[in-house]
Amino acid sequence: MQIEVLTLFPRIFEGPLDESILKRARDRGLVNIRVHNLRDFTHDKHRVVDDKPYGGAPGMLMKPEPIFEAVEKLRQPGKSRVVLMTPQGVPLTQQRARELAGQLHLIIICGHYEGVDERVREALVDEEISIGDYVLTNGALAAAVLVDCVVRLLPGVLGDNQSAADDSFAGGMLEGPQYTRPPEFRGMKVPDVLLSGDHGAIARWRAEQARQRTKERRPDLLKP
């Protein structure tokens, strides 16, 4: 898979994409991620990327020209999916991430300021995604979250153990409590059943704990 990120803040991506599993995936050639500075697609002396909204509204919008120029240069007809990060987008879910992981070429536009000129949506964007109902200062961190979420699903990126963990979340329940050594720490004991060696009893206990925790914290996940 090839991913192009279009942003005004390319350095925001340096940290998240250059560590751990994402770094290894890139080094192994499982994904090719390029981060492009939208200012490089301007032609004026001051490399202006924003302007005031027509009709008078507070704040600034991203101008269409640099975004059009970048997408038209990078997109490959019939192959590229163009995604806009925006608070107005559909919420990111594991299901949507799996769907995007099946694409060959993603172009991710990070919104900045109060939004982008509507003609970007009209003419360039295939889908708009939000990472959740809370406010960020700009779209770059949202795009980094999307990239992380999609890249870990690409074939070969995770080991088998971690892939299984993904399946369990996809199974729609929260994980219950987990323990490692020592069996007693500052007076807090590991539940006896986990030390019992009775794998049937352990499986039943885990299922019940997961159900309780999900009911308590995320009842929305239990609804059909």
58 is catalytic: no
Q: Which stretch binds ligand JCE (CB under 6 A): 15-23, 137-145, 167-175, 181-189?
A: 137-145
- Residue 50 annotated as catalytic: no
**Cα 147–Cα 151–Cα 166 angle in degrees, nearest 5:** 110
Is 87 a binding residue for ligand JCE by CB under 6 A? The answer is yes
Q: Specify the 3-state DSSP secondary structure of 85.
A: strand
Angstrom distance (rounded) from CA 9 to CA 140 = 7
Q: Which of 114, 126, 127, 198 is catalytic?
A: 114
Helices (H), the chain: 11-17, 20-27, 64-74, 94-101, 118-124, 139-151, 160-170, 192-195, 199-217, 219-222
From the list 144, 79, 133, the residue with the least C-alpha distance to 110 is 144
Task: Give the count of beta carbons closer than 10 Å to the beta carbon of residue 86.
Answer: 19
Closer CB to ligand JCE, 125 or 157, in the complex: 125
87 catalytic residue (yes or no): yes
Q: In this chain, which of 6, 109, 139, 173 binds ligand JCE, going by CB under 6 A?
A: 139
Token pair recorded at residue 77: 């007809």
Name the segment binding ligand JCE (CB under 6 A); options: 9-17, 96-104, 106-114, 159-167.
Answer: 106-114
Q: How far is the CB of 130 from ligand JCE (least distance, A)?
A: 4
AA identity, residue 87 = P
* Binding flag, residue 158, ligand JCE (CB under 6 A): no
72 is catalytic: no
Separation of alpha carbons 113 and 139, rounded Å = 9
Residue 153 within binding range of ligand JCE, rule CB under 6 A: no
Examine residue 131 and tell whether it contacts ligand JCE (CB under 6 A).
yes
Given candidates 100, 106, 111, 150, which one binds ligand JCE under the rule CB under 6 A? 111
**Interface with ligand JCE, residue 142, by CB under 6 A:** yes
Residues that bind ligand JCE (CB under 6 A): 85-87, 111-112, 114, 130-132, 134-139, 142
Q: Which residues are the active-site residues?
A: 87, 114, 152, 167
